[in-house]
Structure formats: C-alpha cells, structure tokens
Amino acid sequence: MTVLDRAPLDVLDAYRTCEFATLAKDGTPLAWPTAVARREDGTLLLTTSLAFSQKALNVRRDGRVALLLSDPTGSGLDPAPQLFVAGRAECPDQVMTGPRGAEEYWRTLFERQPHSRAYLSPAMRPLMSWYYLRLLITVEPEQVTVRPPLSALTPQGAPVPVTGAAPLPGAAQLARFPTAVLSARDASGAPVLARTRPMPSADGYLVEVPSDCAPAPGPAALLVHRHDELLNHMYNALVRGDLRRTDTGWTLVPSAVVEPMGSGRATDALRVLRRAKRSTDRYLDRRGLRRPKVQWDRFRELAARDRAPAAIGATSVPPMSSPHH
C-alpha cells in the first residue's frame, strides 16, 4: 500500500469533497462527488446510500477505482494542490443502519454541513430514512500523485466555432463551470481522473490532461459539480461519451447527460425523494430484506450542537458532498 507523506495527508484532510470514479458494467468510468476519509491503517473510507448504490455495485464487480481532490471550496487551502489517488476498493453487502464504524464521518458531517441536522427531526424521518441506510466502501491506495493547484491550469484558447450546428449534448451544463473533471480509462482499463477546461469543437469537447495522466481511447465522461462553504446549494451533472485521439488532441464526443439531482427546478427535490425511496426499496427487495430501522438516537447523539468542532485528521472525516451520496 502506498504511504502518504505529510503534505498529501494535509490536503486530503482539508478537502470537503472528492471526485470518486468506478467502472460501470459496460466499462465506462463514472465519477461522482462524494467524501473521503483516511483511517489510521492508511485505507480510505467512503459511503453511499442504498438509494444511489450503483458505485457500490460497480466496486463489487471491479474493485479498480480512482479519486481526485480538486475542488477546494470550504477547505481553507490557499493555494490548494490537487491530489489523485488510484487503488482498489471493497464494499461488503452489509446495510449500516447507524453510525458504527463511521462515527467521525457522521459527526464531522453534522458540523460542516449544519443544515443536515434537520434530516433527523421527527417530521423529516419518513422522507429521509433512506439517507441513513449506508454501504461502506474501503479503498486501499496504490498510487498517489500531487498535482498543481487548480489556478495553475492554463486555458486552451478560444473554442472552435460551430456556427449553425446543434448544441452538443451537455453544452448548457458545462458552460456553467470554468472546469470539469474528465474520467477515462488507462491502457490497463483502470479509471483515471483529471480536472480540465473542456472546449467545444465541431466534433465534441477538447480536453487537456496532465502529463502524469495517460488516458486511452474509449468510454469516458465529464463531471461538473459545486457546493458552497457549508456544503449547501449543491449541483452535479455528468456528460457521458467517447474519448478519441484527434489531430487537435483528446476529444470527448458526448452522447448523454445525467443530472441525478435535477437541473435546479423547484419540483426536483420532490422527484429525487420519490426516486430515492423507490431505489432503496428495490435494493432491499432484490436481497429479500425488509427495510431496517434507522438508529435515530445514535445519529442524534453525534449531531449534538454543543459538541466542539473536530479537527480533521486520521479519525475525522469530511461530509458527503451531496444528499444522494
């Protein structure tokens, strides 16, 4: 296992979120924002709710994963180096109904994301029980790379004119962000991640990758996401497509756009809650399980408002970047 030195550890502990990539059944590397924490044994801990269990299913089929810490919002880092981690993950099929085994994860969540305390109120419990039914993902790092701060990224120049052409899939979503995270595969098929500035062209989105990242042609995606200093006002979208080597460089030819939390409409929250409940029930039904009871009292103990803020370290964990994770 790769041993992180002091500098990468400080970076990892400070970041609120990371981009976490797993391999879909068809081989597409899919990245979503989530939280990561290091344990004392050097492994990394992530979690996912049953409502959004695809990353867990992907890990059980192929344990090769990648993480990128590249959005320093709320971290206090200035400048903020990026951290890329490649490794292998495991995710037991054990539904966690309480915080046991991830106590600091939840405690730090309630401190860094104050509005999440409201999910524990009696009125919200019928709507949010799915949120607390979790699967634990453990990653053993095999490669760790420190990259320059995001501000060091150099623009690619003016986009290629596409006058008269229909907008590329994902154009509206990508245009709202100065950068995006490319998830691709290397020559061995393992996922790789790199933050880049996609530029629209006649064929797709031109992307540049750092010299330490070696993508291979094939299925790929571009992720955009955001959150504020208190892990609120979240949004994420994934543009799936095919990565190709062209005369002008690497180009992602888009084919589909996924917005799991909606596009920001007032009705999105209700739709997401309904889908989360259905997805949770489906996960349990396929395994012949009844919906377990959430250990509300244990979570409330960790969310106690009079607790002093915890320092981030080997036993304290950043919160999730989005309720669906």
At residue 148, what is the residue type? P
**What ranges in the chain are assigned the alpha helix state H?**
6-14, 54-61, 103-112, 125-128, 171-174, 268-285, 296-302
pLDDT single digits (tens) 265-315: 778 888 999 999 999 999 999 999 999 999 999 999 999 854 544 333 333
In the sheet that 29-34 helps form, which strands lie side by side, from edge to edge? 29-34, 18-23, 64-69, 82-90, 134-147, 44-49, 37-38
Contact 119, 128 (CB under 8 A): yes
Mean pLDDT of 51-80: 95
At residue 117, what is the residue type? R
Q: What torsion do the CA atoms of 189, 191, 195, 197 make, to the nearest 10 degrees?
A: 40
pLDDT at residue 163 greater than cutoff 80: no
pLDDT for position 35:
84
pLDDT at residue 7 greater than cutoff 70: no
pLDDT for position 1:
39
pLDDT for position 96:
97
pLDDT for position 50:
96
pLDDT for position 269:
86
Domains annotated for the chain, with CATH where assigned, are 3-149+167-291 (2.30.110.10)
Give pTM, 2 decimals.
Answer: 0.88
pLDDT at residue 64 greater than cutoff 80: yes
CA distance 153 to 207: 12
Place of tokens 């060091």: 152
pLDDT for position 5:
58
pLDDT for position 198:
96
The beta-strand segments (E) located in the chain are 18-23, 29-34, 37-38, 44-49, 64-69, 82-90, 134-147, 180-185, 191-196, 199-200, 205-207, 216-226, 235-246, 249-258
CA distance 116 to 129: 13
pLDDT at residue 78 greater than cutoff 50: yes
pLDDT single digits (tens) 174-218: 999 999 999 999 999 999 999 999 999 998 999 999 999 999 999
pLDDT at residue 220 greater than cutoff 90: yes
Mean pLDDT of 161-181: 83
pLDDT at residue 144 greater than cutoff 90: yes
What are the Cα distances from residue 36, in Å, to 27, 106, 108, 141, 311?
23, 12, 12, 12, 15
pLDDT single digits (tens) 101-133: 999 888 878 888 888 899 999 999 999 999 999
Contact 235, 321 (CB under 8 A): no
